[in-house]
Amino acid sequence: GIQVEQSPPDLILQEGANSTLRCNFSDSVNNLQWFHQNPWGQLINLFYIPSGTKQNGRLSATTVATERYSLLYISSSQTTDSGVYFCAVGEAGTALIFGKGTTLSVSS
């Protein structure tokens, strides 16, 4: 099956810093999504980005499908950005396969 690797596993930042999270996947996919899991466990959809670049406020993401990786950029980080960020990939109609996540801690 598809393997999904996220890096780094843990990231500690000061408020205001920028960060880049990476997701590598082992096979071609037509779905890639980034999520933020809040302290209550809910998965917040950040981006649906099987290819290309998208931006939403301080967050942006880029997926290079031909090279099988995606990057999530967080700029001017805030304490509310803390939590676990997951990358998940899959084919149309099938379940998403999740990476192990990056745990982000932003301190003031």
Partner 1 sequence: GAVVSQHPSWVICKSGTSVKIECRSLDFQATTMFWYRQFPKQSLMLMATSNEGSKATYEQGVEKDKFLINHASLTLSTLTVTSAHPEDSSFYICSARAQGGAAEAFFGQGTRLTVV
Q: Please, what is the minimum distance in Å from the beta carbon of residue 14 to partner 1?
A: 24
Q: Please, what is the minimum distance in Å from the beta carbon of residue 81 to partner 1?
A: 19
Q: Please, what is the minimum distance in Å from the beta carbon of residue 44 to partner 1?
A: 9
Residue 57, number of CB atoms within 10 A of its CB: 7
Q: Per-residue string for binding with partner 1, 21-50, x by CB under 8 A? A: ---------xx-x-x----xxxx-x--x-x
C-alpha to C-alpha distance for 73 and 53, rounded to whole angstroms: 11
DSSP code string of 29-93: -SEEEEEEE-TT-PEEEEEE-SSEEEEETTEEEEEEGGGTEEEEEE-S--GGG-EEEEEEEE-TT
Assess 57 for contact with partner 1 (CB under 8 A).
no
Binding residues vs partner 1 (CB under 8 A):
30-31, 33, 35, 40-43, 45, 48, 50, 86, 88, 90, 92-101
